[in-house]
Amino acid sequence: MKMDDCIFCRIANGTIPSKTLYEDESFRVILDVNPATKGHALILPKEHAADLYELPDEAAKDVLVLAKKMAKTMRDRLGCDGLNLVQNNGEAAGQTVPHFHMHLIPRYAGDGQTLGWEPREAASEELEEIRRKMTE
């Protein structure tokens, strides 16, 4: 399904122009308009899925293979020193556009960006409770 009121559907399907780095029948890879670093790109599926929960299994498999291909091209052509894959689901996780997308963020030594979290202490009871909820 393509949604007329979804900006990433329109970009992915070419209704709205974008700086496209790669395109096939299922995906378009574009440069982010507000990049974290030089070369920050987004993988967009052409079929609408709001987030990872809605993404069909086939697209979920293909997106990582495509991410790997793009990562290698970024390493070889942009000369990045590292690369982050980021994929936000839900407002609480920082998702601002409700159409699945995977960020490819090339990293350069000393680029000043911080992607991460504050590690905290967790009691073993907490870890055990989570293990139980997830598995039993």
Indicate which residue of 40, 48, 99, 101 is catalytic: 101
For residue 11, give every residue at least 6 positions away whose Cβ sits within 8 Å of its Cβ, in sequence order, or none. 18, 28, 30, 44
Closest listed residue to residue 104, CA positions, set 86, 91, 127, 122: 86
Is 103 assigned a catalytic role?
no
Its sign, for the CA torsion 111, 117, 118, 119, is negative
Is 30 an interacting residue with respect to ligand 5GP (CB under 6 A)?
yes
Return the one option of ligand 5GP, Zn ion, none that residue 46 interacts with (CB less than 5 to 8 A, by type). none
Tracing tokens 């960020």 back to the chain, one arrives at 103
In the range 66-95, which residues lie near ligand 5GP by CB under 6 A? 88, 94-95
* Interface segment toward Zn ion; rule CB under 5 A; list 21-29, 42-50, 57-65, 114-122: 42-50
Tell the smallest beta-carbon distance from residue 31 to ligand 5GP (Å): 6
Give the residue numbers marked as catalytic.
101
